[in-house]
């Protein structure tokens, strides 16, 4: 596939050219780069990358050719990811003076092979486009921030390296507590390597107080959980912060992400260092909901539908059972599964840009019992029907008026704007908070066993219907669905 673009840098062309040939600068600019070293005319490096559900660790070689200083050059790179496949790219870069700055234009040709090539052209093209754009965006950020010229070492932040080490240790301890998952576990096909998630400060605090499986847990589902790399976790100053970090897909949630999120909430809730838990999304959106593109693989049979709904319900149940208050900090889209995460939170604080919707009626999906129950408790019967049966989109002002959210903030920095509310929670008596939460949730959300059985039947029937298949196909093809009622 061919990718073209340009970016303007507020620096002289000679300096941009020098930085373009600086290995240290490139190491900071290459997304997910683990290492990059120069060996003569070549550079060798390791990059961890994700394409859809596949994550692999590529080891490769890059060379510069067609060099015309300080005007243009061609960067050619290729890497192998073991059984996952291989990737190659040829990027032609041209620099031209633009007033007091430099206009950088690029034309890239990207190729993927092996298992990666089987993922579909649309997914591959969007991933490659995002990767190239990230590279040049990060290159511009490094250069314009005053990156040192060749011969000097680009400063390496101290905290991220400590966070990464802590996350690796924490993940290792978590993995050691459970047996190896079956390679046939739904949605958990093994990849050649699993990279650690984005670094999180004070992650070592997560290792204390992690709960073990109780007799009531369903061991097969819980034990199959593996880190996805799409959830960032931070702990500090009494606050646990979970960030859904898949912005290239508007933070839509895979089956594996549902599983991991439930486990992360349980572990943070059992951590005495956490007095308040905040869940948010990266990239200006909370979450666009479940990843419908994988439904054909992970939510296609009656058994898979049951298992998928249990994974979604476990997230809500983990939030409701968490002894500390849980806040959903919402910006942008909060649709479907995203709203299923936000609703059981104790408080929902949103920006004026937030938008809410449950598109179940567009996919012939019956919303889960726990999600339906929390929606009804928040907005009442009529609005719950409007959102579930009609799929109405609700803006922040309407959401506030019907009780779907608690507060609208005006600041641009969502984290800073909710700080006073969080500080109020941290100042409250922990036993009062946890005890009151447990009693109120128990009174509001207890579910009769017969209703649970009826809800499970309705969900299974919808998941096995022709309309469900039509809804998935229409979503993938970008057209309105044609439902027949069976």
Q: Which of 72-86, 192-206, 425-439 has the highest mean pLDDT?
A: 425-439
The angle, 0 to 180 degrees and rounded to 10, between the axes of the packed helices 369-379 and 449-463 is: 110
Question: Bridge-partner residues for 234, per DSSP?
Answer: 241
**Residue 334: per-residue pLDDT:** 95
What are the tens digits of pLDDT across the range 111-133? Answer: 766 655 555 555 566 667 777 77
What are the tens digits of pLDDT across the range 131-145? Answer: 777 788 788 877 776
Please tell me the total number of residues recorded for the chain in this structure. Answer: 486
**Residue 29: per-residue pLDDT:** 83
Question: Bridge-partner residues for 277, per DSSP?
Answer: 240, 326
DSSP class of residue 270 equals T
Beta pairing class for 333-335 and 326-330: unpaired
**Residue 114: per-residue pLDDT:** 60
Q: Return the structure tokens found at 234.
A: 């931070």
How far does the chain reach from its first CA to its final CA, in angstroms? 41
Distance of alpha carbon 6 from the chain centroid? 27
pLDDT at 187 over 60: no
Alpha helices in 396-448 (DSSP H): 396-402, 414-417, 419-427, 430-445
Q: Return the structure tokens found at 400.
A: 């506030």
pLDDT at 78 over 60: yes
Percent of the chain clearing pLDDT 90 (strictly above) = 28
What are the tens digits of pLDDT across the range 280-302? Answer: 999 999 999 999 888 888 988 88
Mean pLDDT of the chain: 76
Q: Return the structure tokens found at 360.
A: 């179940």
Higher pLDDT, 344 or 56: 344
**Considering the domain 2-144 in this protein, what is its CATH number?**
3.30.530.20
Tell me the chain's radius of gyration from C-alpha atoms: 24
pLDDT at 197 over 70: no
Distance of alpha carbon 51 from the chain centroid? 13
Residues 6 or more apart whose CB falls under 8 angstroms from that of 114 comprise 81, 83, 84, 85, 86
Other residues' Cβ atoms within 10 Å of the Cβ of residue 274: 22
pLDDT at 317 over 70: yes
Element (H, E) at 35: strand 33-39
Q: Same CATH fold, 165-477 and 2-144? A: no
DSSP class of residue 155 equals P
Q: How many whole angstroms separate alpha carbon 358 and alpha carbon 365? A: 10
Distance of alpha carbon 477 from the chain centroid? 24
Domain definitions of the chain by residue range? 2-144, 165-477
List phi, psi (to 5°) of 9: -115, 140
Query: What are the DSSP E strand ranges found in 192-321?
Result: 231-236, 239-244, 276-281
pLDDT at 357 over 50: yes
User: Exposure pattern of 394-405 as b/e (b: 16+ CB <10 Å)?
Assistant: bebeebbebebb
pLDDT at 330 over 90: yes
Q: Return the structure tokens found at 107.
A: 């034309």
What are the tens digits of pLDDT across the range 384-396? Answer: 999 999 988 999 9
Asked whether the beta carbons of 112 and 85 are under 8 A apart, the reply is: yes
- DSSP states along 314-328: HHHHHHHH-SS-EEE
**Residue 127: per-residue pLDDT:** 67
Please state the rounded mean pLDDT for residues 223-230: 68
**Residue 31: per-residue pLDDT:** 81
- Please tell us whether the domain made up of 165-477 is placed in CATH 3.40.190.10: no
Number of H helices, E strands in the chain: 17, 16
Q: Which of 338, 361, 356 is nearest to 399 (CA)?
A: 356
pLDDT at 164 over 70: no
Sign of CA dihedral 206, 208, 212, 216: negative
**Residue 383: per-residue pLDDT:** 94
**Residue 163: per-residue pLDDT:** 39
**Residue 100: per-residue pLDDT:** 80
Q: Is 143 left (phi over 0), alpha (psi -120 to 50) or beta?
A: alpha
Alpha helices in 225-301 (DSSP H): 255-269, 295-298
Please state the rounded mean pLDDT for residues 445-471: 73
Higher pLDDT, 186 or 363: 363
pLDDT at 67 over 50: yes
**Residue 85: per-residue pLDDT:** 63
Other residues' Cβ atoms within 10 Å of the Cβ of residue 145: 9
List phi, psi (to 5°) of 461: -65, -40
Q: Return the structure tokens found at 25.
A: 């600068």
Report the 3 state secondary structure along 382-402: HHHHHHHHCCCCEEHHHHHHH
Q: Which of 12, 151, 169 is nearest to 95 (CA)?
A: 12
pLDDT at 423 over 60: yes
Confidence bin at 273 (pLDDT 50/70/90): confident
Sheet holding 231-236, edge to edge: 231-236, 239-244, 276-281, 326-330, 347-351, 407-409
**Residue 182: per-residue pLDDT:** 34
């Amino acid at each position: 596939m061919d990718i073209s673009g340009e970016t303007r840098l507020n620096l002289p062309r000679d300096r941009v050219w020098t930085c373009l040939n600086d290995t240290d600068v490139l190491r900071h600019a290459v997304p997910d780069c683990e290492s990059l070293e120069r060996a003569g005319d070549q550079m060798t490096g390791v990059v961890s990358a994700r394409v859809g559900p596949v994550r692999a660790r590529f080891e490769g070689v890059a060379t510069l050719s067609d060099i015309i200083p300080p005007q243009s050059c061609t960067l050619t790179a290729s890497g192998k990811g073991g059984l996952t496949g291989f990737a190659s790219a040829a990027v032609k870069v041209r620099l031209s003076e633009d007033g007091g700055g430099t206009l950088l234009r690029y034309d890239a040709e990207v190729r993927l092979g092996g298992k990666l090539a089987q993922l579909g052209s649309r997914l591959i093209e969007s991933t490659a486009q995002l990767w190239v754009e990230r590279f040049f965006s990060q290159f511009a950020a490094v250069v314009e921030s005053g990156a040192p010229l060749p011969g000097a070492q680009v400063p390496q932040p101290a905290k991220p390296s400590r966070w990464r080490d802590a996350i690796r240790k924490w993940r290792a301890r978590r993995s050691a507590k459970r047996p190896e998952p079956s390679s046939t576990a739904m949605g958990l096909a093994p990849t050649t390597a699993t990279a650690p998630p984005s670094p999180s400060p004070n992650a070592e605090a997560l290792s204390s107080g992690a709960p073990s499986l109780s007799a009531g847990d369903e061991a097969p589902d819980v034990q199959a959980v593996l880190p996805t790399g799409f959830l960032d976790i931070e702990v500090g100053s009494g606050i646990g912060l979970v960030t859904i970090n898949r912005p290239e897909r508007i933070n839509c949630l895979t089956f594996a992400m549902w599983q991991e999120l439930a486990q992360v909430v349980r572990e943070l809730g059992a951590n005495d260092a956490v007095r308040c838990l905040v869940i948010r999304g990266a990239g200006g959106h909370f979450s666009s909901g479940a990843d419908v593109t994988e439904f054909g693989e992970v939510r296609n049979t009656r058994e898979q539908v049951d298992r998928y709904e249990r994974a979604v319900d476990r997230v809500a149940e983990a939030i409701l059972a968490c002894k500390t208050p849980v806040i959903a900090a919402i910006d942008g889209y909060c649709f479907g599964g995203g709203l299923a995460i936000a609703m059981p939170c104790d408080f929902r604080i949103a920006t004026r840009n937030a938008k809410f919707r449950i598109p179940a009626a567009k996919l012939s999906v019956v919303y889960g019992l726990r999600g339906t129950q929390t929606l009804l408790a928040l907005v009442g019967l009529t609005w719950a029907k409007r959102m579930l049966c009609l799929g109405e989109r609700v803006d922040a002002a309407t959401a506030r008026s019907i009780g779907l959210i608690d507060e609208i903030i005006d600041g641009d920095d969502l984290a800073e704007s909710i700080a006073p509310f969080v500080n109020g929670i941290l100042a409250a008596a922990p036993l009062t908070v946890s005890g009151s939460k447990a009693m109120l949730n128990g009174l509001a959300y207890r579910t009769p066993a017969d209703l649970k059985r009826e809800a499970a039947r309705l969900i299974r029937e919808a998941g096995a219907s022709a309309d469900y298949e039509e809804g998935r196909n229409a979503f993938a093809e970008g057209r309105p669905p044609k439902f027949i009622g069976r």
